[in-house]
Structure 1
Amino acid sequence: MANILFYIALFLIWIMLLYHMFLMQGGYLHFKTFERVIPEWEKKMVDLPTVSVFIPAHNEEVVIGQTLQAMSRLHYPKEKLEVIVINDNSSDRTGEIARQFSERYSFIRVLETEPPNKGKGKSSALNEALRKSSSEVIVVYDADNTPEKMSVWYLVMGLVNDPKAAAVVGKFRVINAAKTWLTRFINIETICFQWMAQGGRFKWFKVATIPGTNFAIRRSIVEELGGWDVKALAEDTELTIRVYNKGYHIRFFPKAITWEQEPETLKVWWKQRTRWARGNQYVVLKFLGQFFKLKRKSIIFDLFYFFFTYFLFFFGVILSNTLFIINLFYDLNLSIGNVALALWILAFLLFLAEVMITLSIEKAEMNRTNFFYVILMYFTYSQMWIVLVVYSLFLEMKRVLFKQEVKWYKTERFEQKDKGEKK
């Protein structure tokens, strides 16, 4: 019986590893070709839509000034652009700093949330701004983001040239990547398992997931969907599924780039990633209950991917680790010890190859320091995710069983030196 369980665990793990290798190949191909359409697309950037940039902000005085400085440099006709800082029940100088920018720039304004949306989290803040704005396109950025000058232009370019797209999403990079050992791990994770996996899914399946930041979506579609789900901790993933289920699609266009701050301490990382994991688990459980009612095959496939990632894959890892530990103290008569060892070594080499190939597409990321961190990442950061997902699932099950209210965790920010304008 132990051998059968071990084989099941290995099967689940290797299915995910090979699938991610497949995505990395697609992401690399997308990276090599996605810019070819730009010269032709530029020709249609004449009669541009009006744009509202939403920036939900709760106690963001540490970063909001740098973010709004980046917004002031955006390349987009100012008569068709408005930047809305949604000051959500802040107790610090967030509102004061934002108002200083609104006095200097006519296209920046501050919106104070009101009951029942006041202090309820990101989704509620976005819904408040949705009701109090009227632009044709909505762009969302987190309060710690410094988008590159052309980012909004490229997001809108994708919508103008793809009338069937409900949304266009860009990529994000880590602005504080070299700050701590943790931010170095997150930087590698972001390049490999965020935008390269996103690129692979778009290349092979024409499927992309709306991220929490750096995306543009048509107002008409957000209104048709009834806005953002206030119960979802991962409001971006939840919105993605509803967009696809309505028959629309989402385009991934990594030419639109934003730089964001990542957690610099383990405590902040743990709270943020727990929210992410719980949010995605909520989405999976919510829509699996409606599985046979979903209309779009593409999103059913994507939903299964999230189910595999947050449930089956981690179950396989935990099962194999548990059997291995038990076997150290009690003989389970495992007959595949050498096979398991060989597969583990191959899995490690596959992980190493995937990550280093992916890092090669970003300037200055393919270096000896990152090679060392990739090796260390496999044995530390990747294992931390396993514990975190189990913990998140426990919290989410407890919330459902005891009908607890969803509580939004606002990621703590860190002082960041302004490195100047990104390209």
Structure 2
Amino acid sequence: MELLWEILFYLSGFIIVWAMVGYPLSLKLIGHLYKSKTLKKDYSHQPTVTLMVVAHNEEKIILEKLNNIIKLNYPKEKLEFLVASDNSTDKTNEIVTKFINEHSEYKIRLYEVKARKGKTNAQNEAQKTVDTDYLVMTDANSMMDKNSVKELMAAFTSDDIAYVTGGLRFVNQESSDVSNAESSYWDSDLLTRNIESKIQTITAGNGAIYACRTKDYYDFDPIECHDSAMPTLYAIQGKRAIANHDAIAYEKAGEVIEDEFGRKVRMNRIILKYILPDIRILNAFKYKWFTYFYLGHRTFRYLLWISHFILFISNAILMLDSWIYTATFFMQLLFYLLGFIKKITKSNNKYLTLIYYYCITILAQWVGVFNVMTGEAKPFWEKAESTR
């Protein structure tokens, strides 16, 4: 029995270390082998595009978003705008309708979703009204750089590229320790995606700004989100999902932990499935680097919740067998204690903030798992007000 606990201890420890340190470092080393590969762009590629904005009760921000997107640097005759309003009950639809009437020189449509079933369902419904060659999708609170659509389209340089995600930048990184921690995490993740994209394909995008061919659009279950589901689907189909971080969108990161925690719980609403969404991913002979990318970047991260639990329990059982196990057990206790100290003291110490932020991330995974197991996972959520 002791051998079993030792196996569990080292296995769970490996998963945690590899997910947070080992995989990013390995990817940097692998990236050096492909340093000659660069993102190809063709700025003459300017097909017809529908830019879809999904909104639910966004009366505070929707007018700013509309004014933002009509200023995009893309041929006016090739660009349409579609607002998919997910059963909005505030003044969102009224504001959009008024804007359409006052800006008849632009091709702007409002699609009203009658029953609120979440962002993905709204996209599924609204997409069926699209007849342009490409779809660009963005959130209501994501302000787009004027060249963002041009950059996205320029990255579709071959038929096997089915999806392009842009780069998200936070405009309030220094507003709070929470927004700073989220910005730091996101910056490191962008570096990882850059390398994955350069070598073969990314494992996830971001909902702020991304594009696909209209013919390649797939109706996902509303509980799923395009960020995780789309790149994986295309990779399994033998296509590529890539990143062009010169296509920029700007957002506010959550400034209070409640907003950021809620966002992470939402991200984990289907966490058990995403550990390994399709067993075919394990076929490294067929999927090559994608198998390595998905296991390292996704599977191991989605296992952090259970790995930390197993590591703690196995360590507690083994701690009397060796001073090494005793030391690692108290190191774990100290780690969680430092996170708790941050919570009660509200300290601005950056190291305490990072520890606390990590603990909140793991807790959000646990809540996500609980919601899945109890049937409480929902395809929609309440927006984070501090990001508006």
Q: CA deviation at 1:276?
A: 0.4
Counterpart residue number, 2:161: 165
Counterpart residue number, 1:364: none
Tell me whether 1:22 sits opposite 2:17 in the alignment.
no
CA distances 1:310-329 after superposition (whole Å, capped 9, x unpaired): 12x443333333455x47xx
Counterpart residue number, 1:202: 197
Matching residue within 78, 87, 90 for 1:89? 87
Q: Using the TM superposition, name which of 405-414 and 240-249 deviates more.
A: 405-414
Q: CA deviation at 1:184?
A: 1.2
Matching residue within 280, 302, 313 for 1:310? 302
Q: CA deviation at 1:114?
A: 4.0
Matching residue within 8, 18, 24 for 2:11? 8
1:203 maps to a residue whose letter is K
CA distance in 1, matches of 2:117, 2:322: 51
Name the SS of the counterpart of 2:54 in structure 1: strand
CA distance in 2, matches of 1:24, 1:65: 41
Q: CA deviation at 1:108?
A: 4.8
Change (3 A) 1:268 1:381: same
Matching residue within 118, 122, 130 for 2:119? 122
Matching residue within 357, 377, 385 for 1:413? 385
2:16 maps to a residue whose letter is I
Identity of aligned residues (%): 22
1:406 maps to a residue whose letter is K
1:251 maps to a residue whose letter is I
1:196 maps to a residue whose letter is L
Matching residue within 364, 376, 387 for 2:363? 387
Name the SS of the counterpart of 1:61 in structure 2: coil
CA distance in 2, matches of 1:277, 1:142: 19
Residues 53 and 83 in structure 1, CA contact (< 8 A), matched pair in contact too: yes
CA distances 1:288-332 after superposition (whole Å, capped 9, x unpaired): 49978x974555444434222112x443333333455x47xx953
CA distances 1:318-366 after superposition (whole Å, capped 9, x unpaired): 3333455x47xx953234258849x99xx9xxxxxxxxxxxxxxxxxxx
Q: CA deviation at 1:258?
A: 0.5
CA distances 1:216-258 after superposition (whole Å, capped 9, x unpaired): 1001111xx3x233232x3331222222222211121111110
Counterpart residue number, 1:64: 62
CA distances 1:32-89 after superposition (whole Å, capped 9, x unpaired): 9747x55xx33x34xx210000111000112212222220210001111011111221
CA distances 1:259-295 after superposition (whole Å, capped 9, x unpaired): 1222222222222111102234333354349978x97
Residues 200 and 290 in structure 2, CA contact (< 8 A), matched pair in contact too: no
Identify unmatched segments of 5+ residues in structure 1: 348-370, 417-423
- TM, length-normalised to structure 2: 0.83
Between the two proteins, the alignment pairs up a number of residues equal to: 367
Tell me whether 1:215 sits opposite 2:214 in the alignment.
no
CA distance in 1, matches of 2:32, 2:56: 37
CA distance in 1, matches of 2:255, 2:234: 33
Residues 62 and 414 in structure 1, CA contact (< 8 A), matched pair in contact too: no
CA distance in 2, matches of 1:30, 1:52: 34
CA distance in 2, matches of 1:8, 1:119: 42
CA distance in 1, matches of 2:328, 2:52: 50
CA distance in 2, matches of 1:83, 1:120: 22
Name the SS of the counterpart of 1:393 in structure 2: helix
Residues 271 and 368 in structure 2, CA contact (< 8 A), matched pair in contact too: no
Identify unmatched segments of 5+ residues in structure 2: 336-347
Q: CA deviation at 1:199?
A: 1.1
Counterpart residue number, 2:341: none
CA distance in 1, matches of 2:110, 2:230: 23
CA distance in 2, matches of 1:30, 1:93: 50
Counterpart residue number, 1:241: 232
CA distance in 2, matches of 1:415, 1:298: 35
2:383 maps to a residue whose letter is T
Residues 161 and 240 in structure 2, CA contact (< 8 A), matched pair in contact too: yes
Structure 2 matches for 1:11-410, cutoff 5 A? 11-16=14-19, 17-24=21-28, 34=38, 37-38=40-41, 41-42=42-43, 44-45=44-45, 48-105=46-103, 106-115=105-114, 118-159=115-156, 161-193=157-189, 195-222=190-217, 225=218, 227-232=219-224, 234-284=225-275, 286-288=277-279, 296-297=287-288, 299-305=290-296, 306-311=298-303, 313-323=304-314, 326=316, 332-337=320-325, 340=328, 373=350, 375-399=351-375, 406-410=378-382
Residues 58 and 410 in structure 1, CA contact (< 8 A), matched pair in contact too: no
2:368 maps to a residue whose letter is S
Q: Using the TM superposition, name which of 213-222 and 20-29 deviates more.
A: 20-29
Name the SS of the counterpart of 2:300 in structure 1: helix
Counterpart residue number, 1:420: none
Residues 53 and 138 in structure 1, CA contact (< 8 A), matched pair in contact too: yes
2:324 maps to a residue whose letter is I
CA distance in 1, matches of 2:33, 2:160: 23
Residues 97 and 110 in structure 2, CA contact (< 8 A), matched pair in contact too: no
CA distance in 2, matches of 1:67, 1:34: 32
CA distance in 2, matches of 1:78, 1:30: 38
Name the SS of the counterpart of 1:380 in structure 2: helix
Residues 169 and 253 in structure 1, CA contact (< 8 A), matched pair in contact too: yes
